[in-house]
Structure 1
Amino acid sequence: MTDPFKNRTPSLNGPATDLLPISPSDVTDLPTVAVALYIEVAGTLSFVSQAGSIRTVEVAHQSILPVGTRRVNATGTTASGIHAFVVG
């Protein structure tokens, strides 16, 4: 199989290298800061941004939220099927 990522340096200017499922938690940060989130099922999303701010937004079905994210909080989150776009 040809791997177009083999000789490419991970970059915020390029595509994510993986998509990780998220289990919302009020205390545990993501293993890697997400460059964006994908949400399968609409609802409220409470998260801690890369800058450290707690934000709460309404998201639609199959949304992509292009914001650096450290944690998705369990409290205040009703959206589900949440995945993190990660680089590296």
Structure 2
Amino acid sequence: MSNPFLNRTAALSGPTQDIIAVTLSDATDLADVAVALYVETGGIISFVTANGQSRTVAVGDFSILPVGTRRVNATDTTATGIHAFVVV
């Protein structure tokens, strides 16, 4: 199988290279800063942005939230099936 990412430099201007299930935590950051979040079941997402700002937003089912995210908080988050788009 060919891999179109093999000799490509990771960049924010292109597709991400992976999507990882998010474990909610009020203290632990994601392993890699996400460039966006995908949400299967809508609700509230409480998160910390890539530059350290705390935010809370409401999203619908099957939403993509295109914001750099370092942590998704357990407290106040009601959305489920959250995945992080990452460039590694």
Same fold? TM cut 0.5? yes
Distance 1:22 1:5 in 2: 23
**Structure-1 residue corresponding to 2:26:** 26
Aligned residue pairs total 88
1:51 shift after superposition:
1.0
Q: TM-score, normalised by structure 2?
A: 0.99
Stretches of structure 1 that go unaligned for 5 or more consecutive residues are none
Distance 1:75 1:65 in 2: 19
Over the matched positions of the two proteins, sequence identity in percent amounts to 61
**Structure-2 residue corresponding to 1:69:** 69
1:36 shift after superposition:
0.2
1:49 shift after superposition:
0.3
Deviations 1:5-43 (A, max 9, x none): 111000000100000000110000000000000000010
Distance 2:24 2:52 in 1: 16
1:58 is paired with a residue whose SS is strand
Stretches of structure 2 that go unaligned for 5 or more consecutive residues are none
Within-5 A mapping of 1:35-46: 35-46=35-46
